[in-house]
Amino acid sequence: MAYEAIIYEKVEDKICRITLNRPEKLNAMSRQLLSELDSAFDEFENDPEASVLIIRGAGRAFSAGYDLQPVGGSGGFTVTSDRWGLRKIVARWQRLWNLPKPTIAQVHGYCLAGATEFVGHCDIVFASDDAQFGHPAGRSLGVLPTLSLWPYLIGIRKTKEYLFTGDSMTAQEALENGLINRVCPRDKLEEEVLAYARRVAMVPVDLLTLHKAATNRFFEIMGIYAAEQSALEFDVIAHQTTTVKNEVKKMAERGLKEALRDRDKPFVTKK
């Protein structure tokens, strides 16, 4: 398949890679990019020669989250259309979770909002020392539809600590919180991810799929699917609040950058 918003390639024997390829937009996830991800996931899963998938971002960041440019008006969508749209988003990340073969997120720079959902559903996360993880959109736009698996990955206390403020974690904080596996120097990140992927690829794929499925089953028994459906419904409710409707209206009238700057200005820490 011909891709435009992503690059899908076979890096070397048994190792494939997706690169989010909208660097001018900090790889904000547009509808086109998300649709192309679906196709790339299918391509990887159906390739009998592929054992492991690396996912990274082009340019200055992994991803700044969902593309908010199409947002306009004052929240005129219905509760039903919003709920079904969010169900599709959750289904996509659960599709990533359910890919039978291992996935590795290679994160540098910003990994915000919807991008934290993306990496939360990957199996392994390596991050550069300049990476930042957070949900600043929670200050004015709603709840993460899957909560990015944070309650499972970093625990209830840390999840609330970061969601209550919209503040971001540094790579080192993300490592200490259990959100990621390793922190690497920026100039060594790709090298270390490939080195790990090669070790994974040495294990026969039939055993890899069983190791992944057996581990995921623990979360599934704990109710991960129902928990994510519940989170998306809270996001639907959030979209009907006065706060979110006013923020969407501000974005339409004053532009996305100015609206986000006004939202985040009170949270900037002066040094």
pLDDT one-digit tens code per residue, 8-40 = 999 999 999 999 999 999 999 999 999 999 999
Q: 92: helix, coil or strand?
A: helix
Instruction: Write out pLDDT tens, residues 138-173.
Output: 999 999 999 999 999 999 999 999 999 999 999 999
Contact between 93 and 146 under an 8 Å Cβ cutoff? The reply is yes
Q: Cα angle vertex 106, ends 261, 151, to 5°?
A: 70
Residue type, 92: R
Residues 6+ apart with CB under 8 A from 91: none
Instruction: Write out pLDDT tens, residues 60-71.
Output: 999 999 998 644
Q: Per CATH, which fold does 6-265 belong to?
A: 2-enoyl-CoA Hydratase; Chain A, domain 1 (3.90.226)
Domain ranges of the chain: 6-265
Is the per-residue pLDDT at 102 higher than 80?
A: yes
Contact between 43 and 1 under an 8 Å Cβ cutoff? The reply is yes
What's the mean pLDDT in 37-57? 97
Q: What is the DSSP letter of 218?
A: H
In terms of Cα–Cα distance, which of 226, 210, 204 is closest to 49? 204
> Residue 183: which H helix or E strand, with range?
strand 182-184
Q: Which two tokens stand for residue 107?
A: 């994160």
Q: Cα angle vertex 83, ends 82, 89, to 5°?
A: 90
Per-residue pLDDT band for 270 (boundaries 50, 70, 90) equals low
